[in-house]
Amino acid sequence: MKEGFTIRRARPSDLGAIRHIVDEGYAPYVERVGRRPAPMDDDYEALIIAGAVHVAARRVPGDGALDERDAHDAFDAEGGASHSDVLGLISMHDGGDHWMIDNVATSVLSRGQGIGTALLERANDLARQSGRSVVRLFTHESMIENIGHYLRAGFEETNRVTERGFDRVYFERSVGPARDDLRAYYDEEARRETRNEPSGRRIEIRAQFITQLHAEGRTSVIDFGSGPGSDGSGFSNAGLNYVGLDLAHANAGLARTRGVAVVHGSVLDPPIRPAAFDAGWSVSVLMHLEPARMEAAASAMCATLKPGSPMVIGVWGGELGSQVDESRFAGQRRPFELRSLDHNVELLESAGTIENTQRWESDVANWEYQVIQLRTPT
């Protein structure tokens, strides 16, 4: 369950809120497109009846025990929805050999809370349930904000066409096993509460980074792929404002028991406003992503930092390429992309200036650990 909202199938009483969000979101593009964007004229009444629309709705008291994946069934009771109850929507359909997203929109006041990311994940879930391995969507070529958002979310541009008088850019994203395996693995780890505590060189590097942050007069840090906030106490005890971001839903709750804040989200599209933090920290996360997505994730992460901010990134590396770890939890697979230090530096250079690197051998043959510190552009 996402903090503050749940995702469910839309019902007829949501119609007014859905139309309000669509009109509010697309009206600024009318002049840019030269006409009303197509989603403004879709028949949402018919789409709701057909079950093609899901909404992100504000959580109501007492629904905390519901799992998000079951929320659309649990909320099919009658009842009205005000504009403030429905925070976003997604309309989609089965395209035969793919899952097609026709429209995704969030209310202006609710942006930056991870709602769009959650709605796209719902599309992934439904695609997988329908046996589709690819999710596709499109946007108008003048909606450059949307193009950037979809690229950060892991979509790849496939083609540009003119349809019904609209110049459209098409994207697709795999819902294959690597992405799903990773989320399932860390959900299981959080359920079992088996994340290892920081130790050894990780604590030393964190202490050095804290010393640097104090020397530069920095007061806040965001931890990408934080787990249950394992490093949070170290930063918080040093007087820094700490927020973690993690792929596993349950880690937000585990973090609260440590007295630190962790929010759910993906490093590819962090639900964090731009330039919100003084520094970034990411340990053992980006080696799960193939090169193009690692590069996109680094740029998205750096966008949450103020200009000239430092970030420490630690990854497992080596020369083995794609690997899958199946040794820890029965039935769970964890993908790795083991790259050389030079390759990882090359991928990160587009996000900021590389200031220093470290590397050491591990106890596992042909695996090494790499630490890269960069600074965001000023």
Query: pTM to 2 decimals?
Result: 0.60
pLDDT recorded at residue 82: 45
pLDDT of the chain, 378 residues: tens digit per residue: 334 677 889 999 999 999 999 999 999 999 999 999 999 999 999 999 999 999 988 865 444 333 333 333 323 333 344 445 899 999 999 998 899 999 999 998 888 777 887 788 888 878 877 878 899 999 999 999 999 888 877 788 999 999 989 999 999 988 765 566 777 788 888 888 888 899 999 999 999 999 999 999 999 999 999 999 999 999 999 999 999 999 888 888 899 888 999 998 888 878 888 899 999 999 999 999 888 778 888 988 999 999 999 999 999 999 888 888 877 888 777 888 899 999 999 999 989 999 999 999 988 888 999 999 999 999
Q: What is the pLDDT of residues 82-93, one digit of tens each?
A: 445 899 999 999
| Same domain (yes/no): 162, 196 | no
State how many domains the chain has. 2
| Same domain (yes/no): 165, 183 | no
Range of the domain at 246: 179-375
| Same domain (yes/no): 221, 369 | yes
| Same domain (yes/no): 167, 185 | no
| Same domain (yes/no): 159, 257 | no
User: Would you list the DSSP string of 78-139?
Assistant: -----TTTEEEEEEEEE-SSSEEEEEEEE-GGGTTSSHHHHHHHHHHHHHHHTT--EEEEEE
pLDDT recorded at residue 66: 31
| Same domain (yes/no): 205, 130 | no
Query: Which of 175, 197, 230 finishes a domain?
Result: 175
pLDDT recorded at residue 231: 96
Query: Which of 149, 175, 201 finishes a domain?
Result: 175
pLDDT recorded at residue 74: 28
| Same domain (yes/no): 322, 196 | yes
- In degrees, rounded to 5, the angle at the alpha carbon of residue 26 between the alpha carbons of residues 20 and 29 is 155
pLDDT recorded at residue 340: 94
| Same domain (yes/no): 347, 205 | yes
Judged by DSSP in three states, 209 sits in helix
| Same domain (yes/no): 110, 136 | yes
Q: Give the number of other Cβ atoms within 10 Å of residue 12's Cβ.
A: 12
Query: Which of 130, 145, 175 finishes a domain?
Result: 175
> Do 290 and 337 contact (CB within 8 A), yes or no?
yes
- Which CATH number fits the domain that encloses residue 17? 3.40.630.30
pLDDT recorded at residue 327: 77
Length, in residues, of the chain:
378
| Same domain (yes/no): 141, 185 | no
Q: Give the number of other Cβ atoms within 10 Å of residue 226's Cβ.
A: 29
- CA distance linking residue 251 with residue 245, whole number of Å: 9
- Which CATH number fits the domain that encloses residue 318? 3.40.50.150
| Same domain (yes/no): 25, 92 | yes
